[in-house]
Amino acid sequence: MTTTAVPEFQHRTVLLDEAVDALDLAGARANGTFIDGTFGRGGHSRLILSRLGPDARLIAFDKDPQAIATAEQVADSRFTIVHDSFATMAAALADRGIGAVDGILLDLGISSPQVDDAARGFSFRNDGPLDMRMDTTRGMSAAQWLATETEQTLEKVIRDYGEERFAFQIAKAIVARRAVEPISSTRQLAGIVAGAVKTREKGKDPATRTFQAIRIFVNKELEDLEAGLNQAFDALAPGGIMAIISFHSLEDRMVKRFFASKANVAQPDRRLPIRAVDLPQPEMKLLAKIKPSDAEVEANPRARSAVMRVARRLPLPEGAQ
């Protein structure tokens, strides 16, 4: 029997050194507990482990079975991999008796192996089955969703998650095509979108925004991010650091607003008889907004849209409960 080898796809971790540097793993923090919310192919996790002390712990999460298979090859007693979304971190930490962590890193991008493997269905550049699930062991594929969803919901998802101004035309074209034949391949969907989108930004494929929208919806990426941000904040010990790398405006906007909601507080009228200790206090301090260098973007064009925001959880003011 002939066995077909699984192709190896290379992945370059975006903002590798900058993200790990942001976690501030020096001194006593080197023996703390940290979370890598998106293991991917392990670039961030491996560098974190190389800087951690012998008593440290690193808990990593990923939904992708291929990422889990890679993570299981990490032979380090300080490392634990969880096959689930980072949106389940509260339960995962509780199950392991972990009360608080010292740093959390979320890289919200999809990995190059996912994009480059046509069988995963993420890319319109190579024909493959229209799947798009991060976790291929559960949930509805993109093809199943397109076959059953209403035209109105298709339009809303493509408009809201893809920021696509031709969402109405694309949804209408999808419904018309599926009445004739199943839409089961990436090439089919890309062709439908190209026929419905009459103009597009220079250098951008007409299908870019639609594929992004469907991927985000099928994988519940924004729902996971909202839950993950709240759980990450709750898990952070005072002085703990959260670093989040986003790759499109919807994610970055959510991260920016969340950090701002924790760092900026409305102050009451100072003429009111309120003790200083009872005044609203910021819960986080914004530390940095970092983008890839020109050299990194040149070496890895997929890094060009990345933005990392970093914030530290502040300790409670003296006397506060």
CA distance 129 to 134: 14
Tokens 């914004």 found at: 286
CA distance 112 to 240: 30
**Which of 117, 87, 112 has the alpha carbon at shortest distance from 223?**
87
Question: What's the Cα-to-Cα distance from 43 to each of 35, 46, 83, 107, rounded to whole Å?
Answer: 14, 6, 17, 11
Contact predicate 44/103, CB 8 Å: no
* Binding residue positions: 42-44, 62, 86, 107, 114
83 phi and psi angles, rounded to 5 deg: -85, 80
* Binding residue positions for S-adenosyl-L-methionine: 42-44, 62, 86, 107, 114
Sign of CA dihedral 212, 214, 218, 221: positive
